[in-house]
A and B are shown apart, each in its own frame.
Chain A
Amino acid sequence: MSARNAELLTAGVIFVLLLIAPPLLEALGLGYMTGLLMKAMLLAIAALSLDLIVGQGGMISLGHSAFVGLGAYSLAIGLESGIDNILALMVIALVVSGLFALVTGALALRTSGIYFLMITLAFGQMAYFTLTSLAGYGGDDGLTLWSLATLFGSKVVQNSGQLYFVILGVLLATWWLLHRITHARFGRVLRGARDNAERAEVMGFSVFRYRLTAYVIAGMIASIAGLLTAQQNEFVSPSLATWQHSGDLLVILVIGGIGSRNGTILGAFFIVIVQELLGAILPEWRLIYGPLLVLVVLFAKGGLNTLLTPGQGRRAA
């Protein structure tokens, strides 16, 4: 079985499990866990988009949560201004985050390596402090969303049981889009530039334009994750845009295995479930969680993805 088929098969198993999870959990009396799954899926969407820059592009960003925050606030501010159609709100989020990505990306991509990490951090912090200064929309405290977005007046995107499947759909769409991008020429050029930027330039590709496009796409996807997070939480706050949140997304990537979409999804679930279980057993669960991260780095090179596809390198496409 080729690696690509194995990847499709694994993804198929993951998505089927997610599809049957809510009724299954309900039957086991663990219905509350669908909330956890939604949280994990939303993290997975944001982390998948980050993987396009980090895994395919080889550029580590510490400002990705800014897009999550922008998406969430697009929903909140849109709702406050009387726009309640979720599709219209999504368009707003995509435009806002796309423009922000275009401007900051054009500047940030003049740098690379650690410098790219720091400049994305700088832009992320600027976005964060801007959100905290929006006193009309709650400032640091955040804002409770008294009314939620609808789909042409229908509440199908509000009820958490149905929102689950909306989020699952978006996760699937994100997975598929990134899968296509990865295996298209665009993805090959990105990876080529990651491994050897000069060679890609010599071959006639504008590395800058490819990277900027990837950066903008990643930002736009992350904003949709943010928008849905706001819809699920019925609440927005600048904490979505902190650098620590960007750090959490990177943790998911490393735990899942850089460059692996299936691994990223598993990484998101791993983080959410481990935190939940440890937290239930021991209030001081961070005493275990911290060393666990160190151990993963030291001894589990390649992350969870290596469990899925033994023999695959960590830079699997």
Chain B
Amino acid sequence: MKVKRNELLVSLAAGLAMGACASAAQAEDLTVGIVVTLSGPPAALGQQIVDGFNLALEQKQGMLGGSKVNLVIQDDELKPEVARQKAEELVQRDKADIVVGTVFSNMLQAIFKPVVGSDTFLISPNAGPSTFAGENCSPYFFATSYQNDQNAEVSGMIANEEGFKNTFLMVPNYQAGRDNVAGFKKTFTGTVTDEVFTPLGHKDFSPELAQLATSGSDALFTFMPGGMGVALVKQFAAAGQKDKIKFLSVFTTDETTLPALKDDAIGFLAAGNWAPDFKNEASEAFVTAFNEKYGYVPGGYAMQGYDTAMLIDSAVAKVGGDMSDKDAVRKALEAADFTSLRGDFKFNNNHYPVQSFYLLEIAKNDKDQYHTSIVREVVKDYADSFHQECKM
């Protein structure tokens, strides 16, 4: 797939160099632009989304909804100004019909106006900030993932159900971190022993772990995506706290970090909207095909990338490939008439999903691959708490 992407970009660059109109695609072709993070430490997250999307595209022989897909993949480099530039190019140069992005909320903030402002559909395969879920919701914006606060809210419910009395909260000091603390506290009924905010990107958690050990907590709730999570879990295990304190997290022990964590994370708890062992025919087929093609277990990011492609497939088929009637396309997207890997899938009035959330546990499969595993359903058809403010 990687080769394919290069060829595409080369031909694009060639078109550019000749001074020709770069959007050489035929009128009935469907141009989809993807803006995700593909460099720097969190690149694995963006790669999962791209892989998931590409797998769907491959299974559909390069067509979505009967239209041949002209796919343009862009790396936002985790820099807002780069993300914005890339999004502008997708809209203005490539005349994208649909932009898919991003991994991170702050990147979504940066590309939101240029995409949505030009009446182009924007579908987020991961980032789901509250910013666009309430009064600033948009007829052109959809999220196939979740609303950011939901996973933390569900974690609070899990902590209640598991009987955690004293929970220690630790997150990186940025907006998503603070959102997760707020979300957890919204549903958790026990005592919060301490809230610790670590610098974003920091890898040495020994001071915080010492604080945790002396805080008298029976559980830790955390949100540490990427390398931060790897460092935290390993240091947590090394400090010998695994037996004393329960580890509950979101976006910390997932399929992007588990290959590095291995046994250190076995038995840890997490909240999520899906896991690779989800009992569902489509999901099982997806996990097998994905594992075969890319050689690793798909995580939620890959699942959401795949679902995003399937959503587009269903909508384009519904309008018969005619992307010019925006209202019709919107209606088709809102219908979400596709088989999600999560089973039932529907959008709320604010275009964020209403879906079930699960308690996940870290496990190992028979091929010695580490993955999240569903323990039980925690909440069914859970809607986010901002949708009432959305006038749509």
Contact = CB atoms under 8 A, between A and B. Distances in A.
Interface of A: 28-32, 35-36, 39, 132, 135, 138-144, 146, 229, 233-235, 237, 239-240, 277, 279-283, 286
B6 interface: yes
Contact of A32 (B79, B89, B113, B176): B89
Contact of A141 (B20, B93, B106): B106
Interface residues of B, number: 38
Contact of A277 (B13, B20, B80, B105): B13
Interface string B1-36: 000011001101100100111100000000000000
**Do most interface residues of chain B lie in helix, strand or loop, or is the interface mixed?**
helix
Contact of B9 (A32, A142, A146, A283): A283
Given A29-B19, A39-B81, A283-B5, 8 more contacts: A28-B19, A29-B21, A32-B88, A135-B175, A139-B178, A140-B106, A140-B200, A141-B105
Contacts, number: 90
Interface in B81-135: 81, 84-85, 88-89, 92-93, 105-106, 109-110, 112-114, 131
B13 A281 contact: yes
A36 B80 contact: no
A239 B81 CA distance: 9
A233 B178 contact: no
B38 interface: yes
Contacts of B10: 281
B113 A234 contact: yes
A29 B12 CA distance: 14
B72 to A, nearest CB: 10
Contact of A142 (B39, B110, B136, B173): B110
Contacts of A233: 80-81, 84, 110
A142 B89 CA distance: 22
B75 interface: yes
B84 A36 contact: no
Interface in B113-161: 113-114, 131, 136
Contact of B176 (A141, A142, A235): A141
A240 B81 CA distance: 9
Nearest to A145: B113
Contacts of B92: 31-32, 35
B112 A144 contact: yes
Nearest to A140: B174
Contact of B13 (A28, A39, A240, A280): A280
B112 A29 contact: no
* Residue from A28, A29, A280 having most chain B Cβ neighbours under 10 A: A280
A286 B22 CA distance: 24
- By Cβ-Cβ distance, the 10 closest A-B pairs, closest first, are A140-B174, A32-B92, A141-B175, A29-B21, A32-B93, A141-B106, A280-B13, A237-B80, A234-B113, A144-B109
A139 B110 CA distance: 14
Contacts of B19: 28-30
Contacts of A135: 175, 178
B174 A139 contact: yes
Contact of B88 (A35, A143, A239, A277): A35
B85 A237 contact: no
B17 to A, nearest CB: 8
A237 B106 contact: yes
A281 B14 CA distance: 9
A38 to B, nearest CB: 10
Nearest to B75: A283
Contacts of B84: 233, 235
Interface string B196-231: 000010000000000000000000000000000000
Nearest to A272: B85
Contacts of B81: 39, 229, 233, 239-240
A132 B79 contact: no
Contacts of B21: 29
Contact of B131 (A28, A31, A144, A234): A144
A146 B137 CA distance: 12
Given A35-B88, A138-B175, A140-B175, A235 B93 contact: no
